[in-house]
Amino acid sequence: MARFPGVDYLQFDSLLNEQELMVRQTARQFVDDRLMPVIREAFNSATFPKELIAEMGRLGFFGANLEGYGCAGMNNVEYGLIMQELERGDSGLRSFVSVQGALVMYPIHAFGSEEQKQRWLPLLQSGEAVGCFGLTEPDFGSNPSAMRTTAEKHGDAWVLNGEKTWITNGSLADVAVVWARTSEGMRGFLVEKGTPGFSASDIHGKLSMRASVTSSLHFAGCAVPEENQLPCAKGLKAALACLSQARFGIGWGVIGAAMDCYETARGYALARKQFDEKPIAGHQLVQEKLAWMITEITKAQLLAFHVARLKDAGKAEAAHISMLKRNNVAIALECARLSRDLLGANGIMDEYPIMRHMCNLETVKTYEGTDHIHTLIIGERVTGIPAYR
């Protein structure tokens, strides 16, 4: 399996310390050795490569930027570089790790009781348990504040009713972090697989994120004990705090997909000859596309790096992360489209990763806040005027 050489136009690596370079190398090698040989078949057969879960746990990828409970306690640049390398392999694998770490471990870590942390974080960190995050509903995607799922207190239990959909890892999960409306506002609950009244069914027919499990979750009189409520998750802002963590990882991850498309197209353009045995890379129109891609990838790297350092310093705002997610997803998608073009007919083949990345990135543009929603968050940040309604 060919080794990925990295993409570094502007000496980006000079910004990274030894530890950060070592973490990236570990993730890069894992993707080259373990994911690349299986991803084509996994995507084609719409299966998630579950056999990689335990190994990712051993490598410390789950909840890598959290402290304690067996977590690796990495800084946010190290965490971001792991996401970048994983998504260079496939957005589905990065999504698995994002959900496990940012949307399941983070809320337990930030809002859970000590008992919840002790019980779940070591299991989720090692990959012995899998988690999912249920916020979206059939009628409420961009506007989760209007959700219909309810949790009512009956004695010592909370009883959940409703439906969540488009849930990554849904049917794989041992524990679901579920957001529901209560008489005191929105709250988060831990719902374990096998709880009576709770079931998950997979969504089939996806042309994007095929190597990722996506499910609907159904709650019909599903009673969970009082101690399964996340005690410090009060209101929608708790769920949004989780989304900020995941969006940050996406902002890094998509750089990997863009790099893979760019490197594939650059290599192809140097080898492919048309018109008088000249490599197509020697034509100005082709170089213009490569120049655009490398410029945007470099800007995306610098944006991600800066937001990570701000996050490490406790200064990253949700609106900063919106800019990172929106910009980097948009340029990654455009890199995929331009790269596909440069490969001509070959660009549509699964022998190359480009079309797979392109299809995946359509999901990444939509989930964790659509491009429009992040535009509105940035718009509100610079004008002070919310324009969502």
* Residues labelled catalytic: 368
Is 142 near ligand FAD (CB under 6 A)? yes
Q: Minimal distance in Å, beta carbon 53 to ligand FAD?
A: 16
When asked if residue 99 is in the footprint of ligand FAD (CB under 6 A), the reply is yes
Whole-number Å distance between alpha carbons of 205 and 364: 17
Q: By CB under 6 A, is residue 377 in contact with ligand FAD?
A: no
DSSP for 239-305, written as a single string: HHHHHHHHHHHHHHHHHHHHHHHHHHHHHHHHH-EETTTEEGGGSHHHHHHHHHHHHHHHHHHHHHH
Q: Which of 102, 176, 90, 82 is nearest to 133 (CA)?
A: 176
User: Which residue stretch of 1-9, 107-115, 313-321, 361-369 sits at the interface with ligand FAD (rule: CB under 6 A)?
Assistant: 361-369
Stretch 295-334: interaction string toward ligand FAD, x if CB under 6 A: ----------------------------------------
Q: Where are the beta strands (DSSP E) in 169-249?
A: 175-182, 185-192, 198-202, 214-225, 229-234
Does residue 209 interact with ligand FAD by CB under 6 A? yes
33, 49 Cβ separation under 8 angstroms: no
User: Could you tell me which stretch among 58-66, 75-83, 127-135, 274-282 binds ligand FAD (CB under 6 A)?
Assistant: 127-135
Q: Do the beta carbons of residue 227 and residue 242 sit within 8 Å? A: no
Alpha helices in the chain (DSSP H): 18-30, 36-44, 53-58, 76-89, 91-98, 106-111, 114-126, 236-271, 284-312, 318-342, 354-366, 371-383
Residues in binding contact with ligand FAD, number by CB under 6 A: 21
Q: How far is the CB of 58 from ligand FAD (least distance, A)?
A: 24
Which of 100, 168, 322, 327 binds ligand FAD (CB under 6 A)? It is 168
Closer of 66 and 178 to ligand FAD (Cβ): 178
**Which of 310/378 has CB closer to ligand FAD?**
378
Q: Name the residues that contact ligand FAD, by CB under 6 A.
A: 99, 133-136, 141-142, 166-168, 209, 214, 363, 366-368, 370, 372-373, 376, 388
